[in-house]
Structure 1
Amino acid sequence: MKNVYLDNAATTRVREEVIEKMQDALVNSYGNPSSTHSYGRTAKTAIESARKTIAKYLNAQPSEIIFTSGGTEADNMILRCAVADLDVKTIITTKIEHHAVLHTVEELAHKGLINLFFVDLDEFGNPDMGHLETLLKKDDSKKLVSLMHVNNEIGNKIDIAAITKLVKANNGLIHSDTVQSIGHYSWDVKDIEIDFMAAAAHKFHGPKGIGFAFIRKNSGLGCMISGGSQERGYRAGTESFHNIVGLEEAFIRAYDSLEEEQHYVEDLKRYFIATIENEIPEVKFNGHSGDLDKSTYTLVNTCLPISSEKALMLLFHLDMKGIACSKGSACQSGSDKGSHVLSEILSDEDLKKPSLRFSFSKYNTKEDIDYTVSVLKEFTLH
């Protein structure tokens, strides 16, 4: 039995170089970054170096990078503080965002703190630009638009540059959950004048439990966690130093090898699509995940021609064969509820069939794909 990991949209294998960097930090740089002695200054210097590194690649200012525990915290901080500190009264989003965004804005709306509107979607899960413009012009309230750059389940890529221009033309603020994007696509925040972004290291071969928020300078956003002056007052608490240097190492290696690894992983996705279409002709691709021009190169979301009764055993069967993939986002895999993303775009008939997300990385091979498709074919046709 082979062991095949095709759940890289949930989390990625940590690079060896990142592990080595973190081990060195844990052993040799254990001072509190807030301490004034040499041990503390060494840690503080490394944190600020990491901040500058990330800012350089994004064409941001170091002060605009705030380290968090991951994408979920970054999303929460940005959305909640925009309401608390920036007088945002209306949030506009879609029903297929990550739950870090959806649950947060729904809670804010339930408490009566905002008016919440959802942009219409087409059959593939793309936001309707005309409807977005209508919502932006609806009234004179301060508005924030939150749309993820790359959908974590179906892989759709939105035109974030065009959306940012539209939002800015209507005096709104724009936030994007870029957790599936950072480390896989280049960004220039001076070219795309987005206000806020969220990222997580474990999506690009870094450690779990660390990420960052991009917060545009002079935005007026306040802190969500009080207690100290760390992270320029945005986030109190002793910094997770070893994780921050791990994030920096993963970030550097992701961007220094971006073109090479993108080409390799994109070739794997292309091969997966061709192979599964050849072996299981009735397979469908959800959203735009089967279109390399309109979706991320890192994942496909497949709808398989299997009855709902037989589908109950599919993930178990794949796991027994050593294959790791996902029926939805990792954040909801322990839930009996179906995918909130697929429920918005699939027909009732297709919702009864199993949909699986396969996501790829530099550590996968075409042999992995051949094995996976052969197992799927055997299960589907017998």
Structure 2
Amino acid sequence: MIYLDYQATTPLAPEARDAMLPWLSGPEAPGFANPHSSHRPGRAAAAAVEVARAQVASLLPPGGTVIFTSGATEAINLAIRGSGARHVIASAVEHAAILDTARSLEAPCTFIPVGRDGVISPDQLAVTEAGLVAVMQVNNEIGTIQPVEQVAARCRAGGALFLCDAVQGAGKMAAPRDADLIAISAHKLYGPKGIGALWIRQGLHLAPLIRGGGQEGGLRSGTLSPMLCAGFGAAAALAKRRMAEDAAHVDCLWQRARAILARWTLNGSATERWRGNLNLRLDGLDVARLMSDLRDVAFSAGSACASGSGRPSHVLRAIGLTDAEAKSSIRLGFGRYSDIREIEDACARIEAAAAAQGV
């Protein structure tokens, strides 16, 4: 199997797995202890959680607090609902976690369009006080990078909070320095599933969504998993060390894939994007048939989060594609553990299978 779906999830880094194993032990060792207990095994587990928190924080700006959550979706819900914002502004290409949460509020919502390149213009933001603006760093479907620093500056000038969904950018590029809230997920940066984090700028107060034992500074009650925290932390530390190396590797893979799939049309900007995301279309292509013909190549017909919902891609529609063009699009995602020979083989087979359809 050739895996080309890195936007849906990334492989677990061996270093992250190794960091998790001590916290999977049984009664013969104290690794199973509750990190919120005051006895010695509990304190050891709590110390591991705090080491992981510092490792995750190293990917994010100084002057903030990392709150562990079950994933980015919970982090986004905590940010939007906990902020008490009276007006939510978001780009039209945000993840469903942003869009659906914003729509569920009693507060008004404004959705800002993007251009054909998939990039928002900060000049379109009519920032209001007591509002919250949500713009993602890297789009999960088409890989475009948004001008988040400019968005942050406009928010600060207008008195609004800026929430950045950095799920696809964290560990790959620098986090937005002037955001107020940043949501990230471990399994998108070679860590385990089931854990994410919300970074909260110092001095900003949120209302909790989950109440109970008061863990995570009273913002997110519930027993933390030292195993998941340790894996997340190790993955974050590794990503920080390898950021330049990973980016260079991905750029090489991108160049080779584009050379083989040269006649395919790129969806979104060719320059303002993370090159580990290659979203392409070929007019007339039957994507379902293509995926059936290439069952040992794992790629996506769109966002993994939307593919099971039956809804057409709101991102591809937002950049002006017709339904037919959207249905003829595929997403190839690759990263640290992708091999260039596998990329060459997969792309050659995708091209051949498309040609066999007569397109």
The TM-score range, normalised by the shorter chain, is over 0.9
Partner of 1:266: 251
Asked if residue 136 in structure 1 is aligned to residue 127 in structure 2, the reply is: yes
Q: Residue 186 of structure 1 contacts residue 255 of structure 1 at CA under 8 Å; is this kept in 2?
A: no
The corresponding residue for 1:117 is 110
Q: For 2:215 and 2:235, how far apart are their aligned partners in 1? A: 23
Q: Once the two structures are superposed, what CA deviation does each residue of 1:278-301 show, in whole Å capped at 9, x if it has no partner?
A: xxx2x101011xx2x310121110
CA distance in 1, matches of 2:104, 2:327: 32
Give how far 1:177 is off.
0.5
Question: Which residue does 2:15 correspond to in 1?
Answer: 17
Worse overlay, 235-244 or 22-31: 22-31
- From 325, 328, 332, the equivalent of 2:306 is 332
Instruction: Indicate if the aligned counterparts of 1:306 and 1:380 stay in contact, CA closer than 8 A.
Output: no
CA distance in 1, matches of 2:346, 2:320: 24
2:261 is paired with a residue whose SS is helix
- Equivalent residues in 2 for 1:79-228, closer than 5 Å: 79-83=80-84, 88-108=85-105, 113-132=106-125, 135-136=126-127, 141-187=129-175, 192-228=177-213
Paired with 1:107 and 1:21, the residues of 2 have a C-alpha distance of: 38
Please list the CA deviations of residues 91-120 of structure 1 after superposition, one character each: whole Å capped at 9, or x if unmatched. 100221000111100111xxxx21111113
CA 1:349–1:235: 2 relative to 1, 3 Å? closer
Cα distance in 1 for residues equivalent to 2:272 and 2:324? 21
The unaligned stretches of length 5 or more in structure 1 are none
SS in 2 for 1:235: coil
Contact 1:303 1:350 in 2 (8 A): no
* 1:179 partner amino acid: V
1:318 aligned partner: 294
Contact 2:7–2:333 under 8 Å retained in 1: yes
Q: Aligned to 1:205, what secondary structure does the other structure show?
A: coil
TM-score (norm 2): 0.94
1:284–1:303 contact (8 Å) kept in structure 2? yes
| Mapping for residues 278-297 of structure 1, pairs under 5 Å | 281=263, 283-288=264-269, 291=270, 293-297=271-275
Calculate the aligned-residue CA RMSD, in Å. Answer: 1.6
Q: Quote how far apart the aligned CAs of 1:15 are.
A: 1.2
- Whole-angstrom distance in 1 between the partners of 2:303 and 2:281: 15
- What letter corresponds to residue 331 of structure 1 in structure 2? C
Helix, strand or coil at the partner of 1:215: strand
The offset of 1:349, in angstroms, is 6.8
Which residue does 1:360 correspond to in 2?
334
Contact 1:304–1:353, Cα closer than 8 Å, also in 2: no
TM-fit CA distance, 1:58? 2.4
Q: Deviations over 1:304-324 (max 9, x none)?
A: 2334xx3331222222xx100
Whole-Å separation in 1 of the counterparts to 2:327 and 2:238: 39
Matched residues in 2 for 1:226 and 1:103: separation? Answer: 22
Q: Secondary structure at the match of 1:313?
A: helix
Paired residue for 1:52? Answer: 54
Residue by residue, what CA displacement relative to the aligned partner does 1:146-173 show, whole Å, maximum 9, x if unpaired? 0001000011101111110111111111
Asked if 2 retains the 8 angstrom alpha-carbon contact of 1:305 and 1:380, the reply is: no
Q: State how far apart, in whole Å, the 2-side matches of 1:376 and 1:317 are.
A: 9
For the residues of structure 2 that align with 1:155 and 1:59, how far apart are their CA atoms? 22
Query: Match of 2:276?
Result: 298
Q: Distance in 2 between matches of 1:296 and 1:176?
A: 16
- Normalising by structure 1, what TM-score? 0.88
Q: Secondary structure at the match of 2:311?
A: coil
Amino acid paired to 1:66: I
Shift of residue 4, structure 1, vs aligned partner: 0.6
Per-residue deviation, 1:348: 2.3
2: distance between equivalents of 1:47 and 1:154?
34
Distance 1:272 1:32, change over 3 A: same
**2-structure distance, mates of 1:352, 1:204:** 27
Structure 1 residues 340 and 158, CA, compared in 2 at 3 Å: closer, same or farther? same
> Percent identity at matched positions?
32
Partner of 2:6: 8
Question: Is the partner of 2:89 in helix, strand or coil?
Answer: strand
CA shift for structure 1 position 14 = 0.5
Quick one: distance in 2 between partners of 1:296 and 1:23?
32
Match for residue 241 of structure 2 among 234, 256, 264: 256
Answer yes or no: is 1:374 the counterpart of 2:352: no
Question: Within 5 A, what are the aligned runs for 1:19-38?
Answer: 19-27=17-25, 28=29, 29-38=31-40
